Structure 1
Amino acid sequence: MEIKQNILNAVNEWLTPTFDNQTQDEIKEMMTSSPKNLEESFYKNLEFGTGGMRGIMGVGTNRINKYTLGKNTQGLSNYMLNFFPGKALKVAIAFDCRLNSQTLAKVVADVFSANGIKVYLFSDMRPTPELSFALKYLGCQAGIVLTASHNPPEYNGYKVYWEDGGQIVPPQDAAIVKVIESLKYDEIKFQANEDLIEYIDLAIDQAFIKSTIENASFNTSNFAKENLNIVFTSLHGTSIKAIPETLSKAGYTNVNVVPEQATPDGNFPTVVSPNPEEPEALTMALALADKLNADIVIGTDPDCDRLGVAVRNTQGKMVLLNGNQTMVLMTAFLLEQWKKAGKIDGKQFIGSTIVSTPMMMELATAYNVECKIGLTGFKWIAKMIKDFPELKFIGGGEESFGFMVGDAVRDKDAVAATLLVCEIAAQAKANGSSVYESLLQLYVDFGFYKEHLVSLTKKGIEGLAEINQMMVDMRENPVKEINGQRVVMLEDYKNSTAKNLLSGEVETMNVPKSDVLIYYTEDGSKIAARPSGTEPKIKFYVSVNAKLDAVKYAPEVESYLDEKIKNILLDLKII
């Protein structure tokens, strides 16, 4: 195949002495044996998405390697030195269980230190939420996590946090990227100043666990804690470093860890995908739960910021909850605890995202708190905390299995969320109920909301073009009717417009731009389309709802909603 000139230009730069011999040899090998792979590796620069920068590891501008991450870090160093003139700068760095994460973390530490910036580097893998906590605890100006979350084993990534503990957001992210893009690779300072690199571990661990227990414990009796039978799996990830100890110190003595998945391993040998959103990932945990007659199953992704939960239904069978269900359960529980403590006075808020369940708005109204809705990604919820200091953040989440309890950690946090779910389960069991029955009661109180996600994978250059064209088609030719229901509103977050399709009236939305389209139908259904910011996927989110008069009618109403979701997807030709 013929290699395009812009790719050849990038390749030739990487064949100069700025790059080590091994890198040059790998590129030369690709030029002869795999020009298609060469094109994929160099056709663009890796970009920051909703969860930082993620990509396949390897050589090239579109890959995760010491040079692309070194350039990021040099650019961030330059930005920080200019943004904080005359200040003694500090950064914290953590990494997950992935292949090369520890090596790449040291490269990042070397570059910061070479620029005169003090580095606190975890001596071993740690959960991503612990980095957010450590950054604030140590008074750092920035932080980095080397992780690709739940992506396949060949991926790694680079997430940037700022001094508030949240990930970088506009306009700062664009300003930092501009500095990075202005750099040449030969400007990267790789020679470490080891005197500026300090390794951190147990002291931060203990402070993090102590803070988690303080924030996510709610007067559960010791008997209730000891009586809860828990199965936990870390899916070969970093949560094994924090969650078992946190649960133990919080008083949960009956925690059964899935032994085959307890050892950290970036190859994730026992699962197809280390993603608790995927039912297959929890197969081993569910089998152990049935063997031990456990009450609850909890599994976390490799960097421990998402959790999947399974509980027993009214027939005693283990069922997986989706991210929207765990989010409303945790939010409702927090709101009720704050209400009992007399801490709600109208100056509090919960947070969610535009593709998550509208049920969060119902909860907020019932408890007289605000519900702030942001774009996809927890950096937007962290930004809410910073932007509204007059309001106290109670908790919040998004449909992709993430939740944040309070503001001690400014990112989704599976450590605190795991403890919180156990508190909910323990109290429910002690009261003769269950997590599942608690969820059904919420549906009676606030309406039965049912959500479904379809993810279509489209890899490589062609896949990206196909995803972009799908969004163009939906934007330029919006559907007028879905499943026999008129579309009443179309929100276009790329153009910042909300159009009433019945009246033709168009309003400007005061939100950051994002490539998201949301359709609302006259019966209250909501359908969103969004290219993933971290994976080669386009995602479709469907939310439907109906009135539930009593718990006993739940199976009938759920069947009706499932059929409705199926018909919507068929009508839109998504399935």
Structure 2
Amino acid sequence: MDIDKSILEKVNVWLTPDFDTDTQNTIREMMTASPKELEESFYKNLEFGTGGMRGIMGPGTNRINKYTLGKATQGLSDYIKKSFPNEQAKVAIAYDCRHNSDTLAKVVADVFSANGIKVFLFSDMRPTPELSFALKHLDCHAGIVLTASHNPPEYNGYKVYWQDGGQLVPPQDGEIINTIEALAYNQINFNANEDLIEYIDKTIDEAFIKSSLENATFTSKEAKNELNIVFTSLHGTSIKLVPDLLEAAGYNNVHIVAEQAVPNGDFPTVKSPNPEEPEALKMATELADKVNADIVIGTDPDSDRLGVAVRNNNNEMVLLNGNQTMVLMTHFLLEQWKKNDKLTGNEFIGSTIVSTPMMMELATAYGIECKVGLTGFKWIAKMIKDFPDQQFIGGGEESFGYMVGDAVRDKDAVTSTLLVCEIAAQAKANGSSLYKELLKLYTEFGYYKETLISLTKKGIEGAQEIKQMMVDLRENPMSEINGQRVVMVEDYQAGTAKNLLTNEEEELYLPKSNVLIYYLEDGSKICARPSGTEPKIKFYFSVNDTLDNVDNFKSVEANLTKRVENIIKAMNLI
């Protein structure tokens, strides 16, 4: 195949002595044996998306390797020194269980130290939320974690955190990206100053566990003794902290899935280490049936997201979705704050535009505010930073992430695991269960049912196909879906909300983002959004109805399920 001239120009740069011999040899092999792979590796530069920079490992500008990460780190070093000119700049670095995460973390540490920046580097893999905590605990200016979350084994990634413990947000992310893009690869300083690299481990672990206990402990010792838990780390980093945290909290009946307890970047026992998918928790739910467990909890490889399975009214293990666990945890926290007379009306919870509207109902019921941001926990962290006079209670998003308090400024499956165990233990002690508590919430606030469809579109052609799907949705907006009129279309890229019944337009207050949301006259909500970290376009559906009695749950659920299916069919997504 003919390779585009602009790609060959990039390739030729990587065949110069600024790049090591192995990299050059691999590229030469690709030029003859795998020109398509060569094109995919160089047709663009890796971009900062929803969760930082994430991609396939290998040589090339569109791949994760020592040079793309080195360049990002050199640019970040320059930006940090410019931002804090009269201080000894400090950064913290963590990494997960993926292949090359440890060596890439050391490369990043080397570049920071070569630029005179003090580095705190974890001596072994650690959960991502511990990096956010450590950054603040050690009074650092920035932090990096090497992770690709639940992506396939060939992926890795680079997430950047700032002084407040949250990920980068505009306009700062754009300024840093411009600094990085202005650099040439031969400007990267890889010559480490080992005197500036300090390894950290148990002291930070102990401080993080103490913080989690303070933020998520609400239940009596007797109740904890009765809860039967199955936990799986899905070959990831949470094995480093979660068992110790649960033991410190007083949970003595914890069964760990041994086959998945050993960190392994190949994730050999699952198709995908994604706790959103029931298959990922299959071994855990099988163990739960053997030991008659009340609850199953599984975390993704970097331990920022958790999947929770509980027994339904037929004693079957069912996986809750991210909206359901978010609502359960938020309601529980609000109840605890109310019982302790801590609610003043100056508190808030956080959510995102693609998550359940039920969060708004909870906030209204407790007389507080629900702030709603774009997808990604960096926006919830920004809320805490932007509104220092208000107190953050908790918040989450539909993608199985939750944040308890503000000690960690990112989704935190470690502390959230403890919190969900606290809720389950209390419920069981009161003759209830997590599942029954969820049904109670539906009778009180309305039954909100959410569904997600992800369409994978890989490579250059896939990216173009996703782009065209969003263009079509914008230029040819649907006026009716499943027999229901579209009453409002929010276009976050244009920054407008248009009422299709009156043709009136309003300005949206959130930053620009490639997201479209349709609202139907029956209260249904449909969101289309290209993923910021994977080659996917995602469609989020939310429908709702009243549930006057838990005995009617199945019939109401069946009606809502049918409504979602009809919407999906009407949009030709299946």
Shorter-normalised TM range: over 0.9
CA RMSD of aligned residues (A): 0.4
Matched letter for residue 150 of structure 2 = H
Q: Residue 390 of structure 1 aligns to a residue in which SS?
A: coil
Matched letter for residue 52 of structure 2 = G
Question: Size of the alignment, in residue pairs?
Answer: 574
Q: Residue 7 of structure 1 aligns to a residue in which SS?
A: helix
How far did 1:86 drift?
Answer: 1.6
Matched letter for residue 171 of structure 1 = P
The match for 2:105 is 105
How far did 1:409 drift?
Answer: 0.2
Q: Residue 290 of structure 1 aligns to a residue in which SS?
A: helix
Q: Residue 160 of structure 2 aligns to a residue in which SS?
A: strand
1:467 aligns to 2:466 (yes or no): yes
Matched letter for residue 88 of structure 2 = A
The match for 2:134 is 134
The match for 1:423 is 422
Equivalence map 1:195-214=2 (5 Å): 195-214=195-214
The match for 1:554 is 553
Equivalence map 1:438-449=2 (5 Å): 438-449=437-448
Question: What is the TM-score with the length of structure 2 in the denominator?
Answer: 1.00
In the aligned structure 1, how far is the partner of 2:303 from the partner of 2:34?
A: 36
Equivalence map 1:26-45=2 (5 Å): 26-45=26-45
In the aligned structure 2, how far is the partner of 1:407 from the partner of 1:401?
A: 18
In the aligned structure 1, how far is the partner of 2:48 from the partner of 2:134?
A: 23
How far did 1:136 drift?
Answer: 0.2
Equivalence map 1:54-93=2 (5 Å): 54-93=54-93
In the aligned structure 2, how far is the partner of 1:325 from the partner of 1:568?
A: 21
In the aligned structure 2, how far is the partner of 1:119 from the partner of 1:39?
A: 36
In the aligned structure 2, how far is the partner of 1:109 from the partner of 1:394?
A: 34
Q: Residue 529 of structure 1 aligns to a residue in which SS?
A: strand
The match for 2:310 is 311
In the aligned structure 1, how far is the partner of 2:520 from the partner of 2:32?
A: 54
How far did 1:221 drift?
Answer: 1.2
Q: Residue 48 of structure 2 aligns to a residue in which SS?
A: coil
Q: Residue 149 of structure 1 aligns to a residue in which SS?
A: coil
The match for 1:188 is 188
Matched letter for residue 130 of structure 1 = E
In the aligned structure 2, how far is the partner of 1:488 from the partner of 1:416?
A: 40
In the aligned structure 2, how far is the partner of 1:213 from the partner of 1:563?
A: 42
Matched letter for residue 251 of structure 2 = Y
Q: Residue 119 of structure 2 aligns to a residue in which SS?
A: strand
Q: Residue 61 of structure 2 aligns to a residue in which SS?
A: coil
The match for 1:536 is 535
How far did 1:532 drift?
Answer: 0.2
Q: Residue 299 of structure 1 aligns to a residue in which SS?
A: strand
1:253-300 Cα distance to aligned partner (Å, 9 max, x none): 000000000000000000000000011100000000001110000000
The match for 2:319 is 320
Q: Residue 346 of structure 1 aligns to a residue in which SS?
A: coil
The match for 2:173 is 173
Q: Residue 402 of structure 2 aligns to a residue in which SS?
A: strand
How far did 1:574 drift?
Answer: 1.0
1:155-175 Cα distance to aligned partner (Å, 9 max, x none): 000000001000010000000
Q: Residue 290 of structure 2 aligns to a residue in which SS?
A: helix
The match for 1:241 is 240
The match for 1:160 is 160
1:276 aligns to 2:271 (yes or no): no
In the aligned structure 1, how far is the partner of 2:344 from the partner of 2:567?
A: 40
In the aligned structure 2, how far is the partner of 1:445 from the partner of 1:416?
A: 27
Question: What is the TM-score with the length of structure 1 in the denominator?
Answer: 1.00
In the aligned structure 1, how far is the partner of 2:364 from the partner of 2:197?
A: 49
Matched letter for residue 488 of structure 2 = M
Moved over 6 A (4+): none
In the aligned structure 1, how far is the partner of 2:317 from the partner of 2:531?
A: 30
How far did 1:511 drift?
Answer: 1.2
1:345-386 Cα distance to aligned partner (Å, 9 max, x none): 110000000000000000000000100000000000000000
In the aligned structure 1, how far is the partner of 2:513 from the partner of 2:154?
A: 27
Equivalence map 1:343-422=2 (5 Å): 343-422=342-421
The match for 1:457 is 456
Matched letter for residue 281 of structure 2 = L
Runs of 5+ unmatched residues, structure 2: none
The match for 1:519 is 518
The match for 1:298 is 297
In the aligned structure 1, how far is the partner of 2:221 from the partner of 2:506?
A: 54
Matched letter for residue 138 of structure 1 = L
Q: Residue 284 of structure 1 aligns to a residue in which SS?
A: helix
The match for 1:507 is 506
In the aligned structure 1, how far is the partner of 2:225 from the partner of 2:54?
A: 40
In the aligned structure 2, how far is the partner of 1:510 from the partner of 1:440?
A: 34
